[in-house]
Amino acid sequence: MKRHISILILIVLWPLSESWAQVLALDGAGVALGHLDTNVRDVESTKKFWILLGGKPIKVDGTDVVKFPGVLVFLRKGEVSGGSTGTPVDHVGFWVPNGQEVVAKLKAAGVKASPTAGTRREGYRGYSWGDVYSPDDLMVEIMEDKNLTRQIESDHIHLFGSNGVPESEVQAWYHTVLDARLILDPVPNSANPIVAALIGDVELKFSISPDPLLPTKGRALERIGFEVKNLELFCEKLEASGVKFDEPYSKSRHASFASAELTDPWGTPIELTEGLNRF
C-alpha cells in the first residue's frame, strides 16, 4: 500500500492529542494485520487453493496455516454454512505482479472465478483483475502491481455494514480502537472515493450493504485478526475506554501466542494477537 499512497487522500477526524494514535505511540505499541480465520470442509483441497495463489503452508499449534506476506490464513476444518459474500467481511484482496497471468493459472486449475475475472475491471485504474473463490467460496480479489517484487502480497479487506450506518462511523471506530490511519481511496471512482483506513500497509475498505448481513459464524471467513505489540497493555486501555471483549486477554488460550477477542459494532469478529509474527 505504501507504493500507492499517492492515490490516497489522508483525512483526520480528531486532533492528535485526543486520538488513540498518540497514546499508543507513547507506549511503543502498534497494530498490523495478522491473520484470517477460515472454516474449510476439506483442508487439503483448500490448502492447494491458497498455495496455488502463492502462499506457503506452515503449522501453528497443530493447525494448518498458509502464510502470505502480510497475513496468515488459518484453515479450521468444519462445516461451512456459506461463503464470505453477504457477511460483514465480504472479501479480501491481494497484490500480484501480473493479474492476468495469475487469474489464468487459477482458472486453468479449476478454481471458481467471477465471469469477468481475467480482464481488467472497468474504472479500477487497471489494478483489479476480478475475483476468484476458495473451495468454500471465500472471495479473493486479484489486484495488480507491476512493480511488486514478491509473488504475492496482502492488500485489503473489504468490510460491509448495514442498517444505514454511515461508512465514516465504521471508519471512526477502527481509528479509535485499532489506531487505523484514515484515508479516502479513489479506486475505482475518484469522484466517489471509498471510505477506508490503513492498518500497517493493509487497507480496510468500508461499504454499506443495502441488504441485511448474515453473521460470519460458520461461514468461510469467520474472523479477522490483528497482531498487536504490547497486547496486554493495549487491551487494558481499550477496556478502560469502554470496549467490551468477548474473550479477555490471555497468554494461555493458545500455546504460541497471546490473544483477546472482540466484535466490532457491525458484527465483524476480531482477534487481537501477540506472537504470531514469529511464524
Q: Which pLDDT tens digit goes with each residue over 157-166? A: 999 987 677 8
How large is the average pLDDT for residues 39-62? 98
Arch. (CATH architecture) of 2-278:
Roll (3.10)
Please give the Cα distance from 37 to 136 (Å, whole number): 13
Q: Which pLDDT tens digit goes with each residue over 255-276? A: 999 999 999 998 999 999 999 9
pLDDT of 126 reads 63
pLDDT of 23 reads 28
DSSP string, 42-74: -HHHHHHHHHHHT-EEEEETTEEEEEETTEEEE
**Cα–Cα nearest to 170, from 195, 143, 149, 146:** 195
Q: Which pLDDT tens digit goes with each residue over 219-258? A: 999 999 999 999 999 999 999 999 999 999 999 999 999 9
Q: Quick check: 196 pLDDT over 60? A: yes
How large is the average pLDDT for residues 188-217? 89
Please give the Cα distance from 146 to 228 (Å, whole number): 31
Three-class HEC string of 124-158:
CCCCEEEEEECCCCCEEEEEECCCCCCCCEEEEEE
pLDDT of 163 reads 66
How large is the average pLDDT for residues 64-93? 97
Q: What is the mean pLDDT of the chain?
A: 88
The residue type of 151 is: Q
Q: Measuring CA to CA, how many Å separate 195 from each of 39, 53, 208, 210, 245?
A: 28, 28, 10, 17, 26
